Amino acid sequence: MTLTEADASPVVVARGVRKTFEAELAPVRALRGVDLDVAAAEFIAIMGPSGCGKSTLLNLIAGLDTADEGEIILAGEQVTGKSDDDLARMRRRHIGIVFQFFNLLEGMTVLENVVLPAMIAGTKRKPAETRARDLLDLLGLGDKASDVPAVLSGGQRQRLAIARALANEPTLLLADEPTGALDSDGGREVLELFRRLHSDGQTILMVTHNDEVAAAADRIVLMKDGRIDDDGLARASTSTPSSTSI
Partner 1 sequence: MGFKIFVARAEVRRRRIALFGLALMIGVSGSVVIAAVAGARRTSTALDRFLAASNTSDLYLEIDSLGDGIEPASVFSDLAEVEGVRAVAPQKFFFVDVGSEFDFGVRASPESRWLAEFDTPRVLHGRLPRDADEVALNEEAVAQLDLTIGDTLSGPTFDNAEFECLMAGGGCDIVGNGPELHLEVVGITRLPEDLNTDPSQNNPAALASSAFYDRYSATVGGWDRAAIVDLDPSAREDVVTGAIHGSVPFDTVLLIGSARQIQDTTDRSLDVLVVAILVFAVVAAVAGAFVAAQSITRQVAATAADLVALGSLGCTRRERAVILTLSLLPAAALGSIMAVLVAVAASAWFPFGLAGRAEPEPGIAIDGTVLLTGVGTIAASVALVALVVAWRCSRPTRSAATRRAGGVGSFRRLGVPVVPAAGARFAFDRGRGRGAVPARTAMTAAVLAFAGVIGSAAVTASGDRLARTPERWGHTWDLGPLDFGSLNEDSSYAGTREEALAALDAIADDDRLAAAAVLARATAELDGAEVPSVSLDVRSGSLDLSIVQGRAPTTAGEVALGRQTLDDLGMRIGDRVSAAPAYGGAADDRPARLVVVGRVVFPEGNEPGDGALFTPEGLDAHRRSEGEQGLVVSVTPGVDLDAAVAFLEDHGFSASAYAFATPPSQVSDLHAIRSVPLALGLFFGLLGTLSLAHVVLVTSRRRRHELGVLQALGLRPAQVRAIPPWQATAIVAVGAAIGIPCGVAVGRWVWIRIANGIGVANDLAVPLRWTAALAAVALALAIAVGSVSGRLAVRNRPADALRTE
- Interface contacts to partner 1, rule CB under 8 A: 20-25, 62, 64-66, 84-85, 88-92, 95, 97, 99, 101-108, 112, 115-117, 119-121, 124-125, 149, 157, 164, 181
Task: Tell the smallest beta-carbon distance from residue 245 to partner 1 (Å).
Answer: 28
Q: What pairing do the DSSP bridges indicate for beta strands 172-176 and 10-21?
A: unpaired
Report yes or no: 188 and 246 within 8 Å, Cβ to Cβ. Answer: yes
Q: Which is nearer to partner 1, 164 or 198 (CB)?
A: 164
Q: What is the largest CA-CA distance in the chain?
A: 52
Task: Tell the smallest beta-carbon distance from residue 47 to partner 1 (Å).
Answer: 22
Q: Roughly what angle, to the nearest 10 degrees, separates helices 110-120 and 125-138?
A: 130
Q: Which is nearer to partner 1, 104 or 216 (CB)?
A: 104
Distance (Å, rounded) from C-alpha 75 to C-alpha 172?
A: 9
Task: Tell the smallest beta-carbon distance from residue 97 to partner 1 (Å).
Answer: 5
Q: Roughly what angle, to the nearest 10 degrees, separates helices 184-199 and 154-166?
A: 20
Q: Which is nearer to partner 1, 103 or 199 (CB)?
A: 103
Task: Tell the smallest beta-carbon distance from residue 205 to partner 1 (Å).
Answer: 14
